[in-house]
Amino acid sequence: MTVRIVTDSACDLTEEEVAALDIDVVPLFIRFGEVEYIDRKELSVPDFYKEMSSNEHLPQTAAPAPGSFGEIFTQRLNAGAESIVCINLSSELSATMESAQAGAQESGGDVRIVDSRSVSAGQGTIVLAAAHAAKNGASADEIVSLVSDLSSRTRVYGALDTLENLKKGGRVGNAAALFGSVLSIKPLIDISSGVVEEAGKQRTMKKALAWLAETIKEHGDNLESLSIAHAMAPDIDLFAEELQAVTNLNEIRISVIGPVVASHGGPGLVAISFVLKN
List pLDDT tens digits, range 80-121: 999 999 999 999 999 999 999 999 999 999 999 999 999 999
The model's confidence at residue 171, banded by pLDDT at 50, 70 and 90, is low
From 152, 174, 194, give the residue that closes a domain: 152
- What does 224-258 look like in DSSP terms, one character per residue? EEEEEEESS-TTHHHHHHHHHTTS--S--EEEE--
Interval 13-27 mean pLDDT: 98
What pLDDT score was predicted for residue 185? 84
Q: For residue 190, what are the domain limits?
A: 154-276
The yes-or-no verdict on residue 180 having pLDDT over 60 is no
List the CATH number of the domain containing 177: 3.30.1180.10
Least confident of 34-38, 164-168, 211-215, 248-252: 164-168
Does the pLDDT at position 144 exceed 80?
yes
Are 175 and 214 members of one domain?
yes
Domain boundary among 125, 152, 179: 152
Q: By percentage, how much of the chain surpasses pLDDT 70?
A: 93
**pLDDT bucket at 164, cuts 50 / 70 / 90:** confident
The answer to whether residues 190 and 233 belong to one domain is: yes
Same structural domain, 59 and 162: no
- Rg (the chain; Cα; Å): 18
Same domain, 9 and 50: yes
Q: Do 174 and 89 fall into the same domain?
A: no
Query: What integer best gives the mean pLDDT of the chain?
Result: 93
102 shares a domain with 207: no
Q: Residue 29: which CATH number?
A: 3.40.50.10170
Total domain count, the chain = 2
pLDDT at 175 over 90: no
Same domain, 180 and 199: yes
Task: Check whether residue 147 and residue 22 sit in a common domain.
Answer: yes
Nearest 5°: phi and psi at 260?
A: -60, -50
Angle between helix 205-219 and helix 236-244 axes, rounded to 10 deg: 30
Q: How confident is the model at residue 184 (pLDDT cuts 50, 70, 90)?
A: low
Clarify whether residues 138 and 214 are in a common domain.
Answer: no
> CA-based angle 262:264:268, to the nearest 5?
45
The per-residue pLDDT for 58 is 93
The β-bridge partners of 200 are 188
Region of poorest pLDDT, from 2-11, 49-58, 150-159, 177-186: 177-186
Question: Mean pLDDT throughout 68-76?
Answer: 98
Please determine, for residue 183, whether its predicted confidence score (pLDDT) is greater than 80: no
Mean pLDDT of 206-223: 95
Is the pLDDT reported for residue 179 higher than 80? Answer: no
Output the pLDDT for position 248: 86
Q: Quick check: helix, strand or coil at residue 173?
A: coil
Same domain, 34 and 136: yes
Residues 108 and 87 in one domain: yes
Q: What pLDDT was estimated at residue 102?
A: 98
**Which runs of E-coded beta strand occur in 13-150?**
24-26, 29-32, 35-38, 60-62, 83-88, 111-115
Please say which residue of 119, 152, 185 terminates a domain. 152
- Across the range 219-229, mean pLDDT stands at 95
Which pLDDT belongs to residue 169?
A: 56
